[in-house]
Amino acid sequence: MSAPSICVVGSINLDMNAYVERFPRPGETLHGRRFTTGYGGKGANQAVMAARLGAKVSMVGRIGGDIFGHDMRRNLESEGICTDFVRESKGVSSGVAVITIDEQGQNQIIVIPGANGLVTAADVEEAQAAITGAQVLLCQMEVPMEANLAALRIARNAGVTTIFNSAPVSSEVPEEVYRLSDIFCPNESEAELLTGVPVHTLDDARLAASMIVTRGARAALITLGAQGCLYVTADQEEHVPAPRVKAVDTTGAGDAFVGSLAHFLAAGLPVLEAIARANAIAAISVQHPGTQASYPRRADLPETLLR
C-alpha cells in the first residue's frame, strides 16, 4: 500500500525563547540567562507530526523573505515534507513568536503572523492537486479564513476527508467551515469560546460538541487534555480516554494529536481507532520537552502504534 497522503494548509513559525530572571520594565535593558529557538506554527507542527509517522505530507503556506523563512523551509524538507506550495513573501517577515519566560515559568508572548497572514485562496487553488491527491486535509486558524475555506471546498468536492482544528480561536468561525468539516476539532477553551458553553466536565463537552454538530460539522472532536477527547456525531458519542502519563510539557500536544489523527485516518483506520492512537502519540509527546522536539518518530514507536 502507498503511504497515507495528507495536505496541510497552515502556519509556519519560528519560536524565539528568551529566559530571564524577571520581565523587564518599559525602557529597561536586562541580561537574559538563555536563548533558544524552536520550529512552530500549528500547520507546520501538524505536518511534522504526520510526516514522522510515515505519511506523505504536502504543506501549503507562506514564509517571509528572511533567514528564518529559509531555515523553516529546510526544516520541513528535512522531515520529508513537500514544500512546493510554500510560497515566499518578499519584504515581509516570517511568522515568529517572541516568548519571554521568567524564573517562575510565567511567559509573555508576542506572535507576529508575518507571511502567514498573506496566505490567499489563490495560493490554495494553485495547490489543488496536492489537496485532491490527499486522503486527508488539515486546516487551522493561523492563516486567513479565505485560504481555509478555499481548501475545504476543494477537498469536500473531491471527497477528501477534512479536519478543521479551530485553534487558536481569534474570530468567529463562518458557518460554512462547520458544514465543510468532516471532523471539527477544538480543545476545551476553544469549544467554550465557539459555543458559549464553559467546558469543565464531560457533560459540558457533550453539549458543546452537539452544538458544533448542529452547526453542520459531520463530527465534533473536543480534546480534553489528560482526559483524552470526546467524539460526537449526529448518532454517536464516544469518550476516548488518553493513556495516564506523567506530563512534563504539554506545549504542542494538540498539534501532535491532530497531526497523528490525520495520519491514522489517511492510513485507513476506523475513526475511533485513529483517535485512540492519536491520544497515545500525543501522550508520548507530553512526556518530553519542546514542541516538534517532543514528537516521536516512527522508528521509536511500538508495532501496536504503527500503520
Question: Per the annotation, does 42 bind a ligand?
Answer: yes
* 237/65 Cα distance (integer angstroms): 46
Chain residues binding ligand ADP by CB under 6 A are 167, 187, 223-226, 228-229, 242, 245, 247, 250, 253-254, 257, 279, 282-283, 286
CB of 73 to ligand ADP, least distance (A): 25
Cβ proximity to ligand ADP, 137 vs 221, nearer residue: 221
Question: Per the annotation, does 254 bind a ligand?
Answer: yes
* 209/240 Cα distance (integer angstroms): 14
Question: Which residue's Cβ lies closest to ligand ADP?
Answer: 254
Cβ proximity to ligand ADP, 135 vs 223, nearer residue: 223
117 with 87: CB under 8 angstroms?
no
CB of 121 to ligand ADP, least distance (A): 26
Q: Which three cell numbers stand for residue 275?
A: 483517535
Q: How far is residue 179 from each of residues 153, 194, 224, 296, measured CA to CA in Å? A: 10, 15, 23, 33
Residue 222: alpha-carbon gap to chain centroid: 14
CB of 277 to ligand ADP, least distance (A): 10
Cβ proximity to ligand ADP, 20 vs 247, nearer residue: 247
Cβ proximity to ligand ADP, 230 vs 267, nearer residue: 230
Residues in Cβ contact with 118 at an 8 Å cutoff, skipping those fewer than 6 apart:
62, 89, 92, 144
Nearest to 222 by CA among 198, 248, 246, 247: 198
Q: Please say if 255 is a catalytic residue.
A: yes
Which residues carry out catalysis? 255
What residues form the annotated binding site for ATP? 187, 223-228, 254-255, 279
- From the annotation, which residues make up the binding site for substrate? 13-15, 41-45, 142, 255
